[in-house]
Chain A
Amino acid sequence: MSDRYVLAIDQGTTSTRCILFDRKATVVSVVRGEHPQSYPKPGWVEHDAARIWRDVQRLIGRALREGGVVMNQVAAIGIANQRETVVLWDRDSGQPVAPAISWQDVRTEELVARVDSTLVRDKTGLTPATYFSATKIQWLLEKHGLRERASRGEVLFGTMDSWLIWNLTGGSHLTDVTNASRTMLMDLATLDWDLSLLSAFDIPREMLPSIRSSAEIYGHFEGVPIAAAIGDQQAALFGQTCFDPGEAKCTYGTGGFLLMNTGTTPVRSSHGLITTVGYRIGDEPVVYALEGSIATAGSLVQWFRDGLELISTASEIETLAATVSDNGGCYIVPAFSGLFAPHWRSEARGVIVGLTSYITKAHLARAVLEATAWQTRDVVDAMNADSGLALTALSVDGGMTADNLLMQFVADFLGVPVVRPMVAETVSLGAAYAAGLAVGYWSDLRDLRANRHRAGRWVPALDSPKRAAEHANWRRAVECAVFFSR
Chain B
Amino acid sequence: MSHVPGLIQSIERSSAVLRLLAADRLRVGEVAEALDLPKSTAHSILRTLEHVGFVEQDPRTTRYRLGRGVLDLGSAGFDVNELRGRALNWADALAARSGQEVRIGVLRDRQVLVVHHVFRPDDSAQSMDTGRLLPAHATALGKTLLAYHPTVASAVAREGFDAYTRRTLTNRQDLARQLGETRARGWGLAVEEWRAGQAAIAAPLRTSGGLVVGAIGIAGPVETVCDTRRQARQALVEHVVGGARSISRDLA
Contacts and interface: CB of A to CB of B under 8 A. Distances in A.
Contact of A316 (B81, B121, B130): B81
A26 B96 contact: yes
B117 interface: yes
A313 B119 contact: no
Interface residues of A, number: 26
Nearest to B125: A457
Contact of A424 (B88, B119, B126): B88
Interface residues on B, range: 20 to 34
A455 interface: yes
Contacts, number: 70
Nearest to B117: A456
Contact of A319 (B79, B95, B117, B122): B79
Interface string B92-118: 110111000000000000000000111
A314 B79 CA distance: 11
B32 interface: no
A27 interface: yes
A106 to B, nearest CB: 26
B84 A402 contact: yes
A476 to B, nearest CB: 30
A297 interface: no
Given A315-B84, A402-B85, A457 B68 contact: no
Contacts of A456: 117-119, 128
A422 B85 contact: no
A455 B118 contact: yes
Given A312-B68, A424-B88, A424-B92, A454 B119 contact: yes
B92 A422 contact: yes
Contacts of A454: 119, 121, 123, 126
Contacts of A455: 92, 95, 118-119, 121
A337 interface: no
A403 B86 CA distance: 11
Interface string A388-404: 00000000000101111
Nearest to A402: B85
B152 interface: no
A89 to B, nearest CB: 35
B85 A453 contact: no
Contacts of A315: 79, 81-82, 84-85
A44 interface: no
Contacts of B117: 456
B80 interface: yes
A442 interface: no
B85 A399 contact: yes
B15 interface: no
Contact of B81 (A26, A318, A459): A318
A316 B78 CA distance: 10
Nearest to A311: B79
Contact of B79 (A24, A313, A424, A459): A313
A64 interface: no
A316 B82 contact: yes
A453 B89 contact: no
A188 interface: no
Contacts of B119: 422, 453-457
Contacts of A458: 128
A423 interface: yes
A357 to B, nearest CB: 26
Contacts of A422: 92, 95-96, 118-119, 121
B128 A319 contact: no
A316 B79 contact: yes
Nearest to A458: B128
B92 A402 contact: no
Nearest to A454: B119
A312 B81 CA distance: 12
B109 to A, nearest CB: 16
Interface in A446-474: 453-459
Given A316-B82, A422-B119, A457-B127, 5 more contacts: A26-B97, A315-B82, A315-B84, A315-B85, A422-B121
7 contacts: A26-B97, A27-B93, A315-B79, A401-B88, A402-B88, A455-B92, A456-B119
9 closest A-B pairs by CB: A453-B121, A315-B82, A402-B85, A315-B81, A318-B81, A315-B85, A455-B118, A402-B88, A319-B81
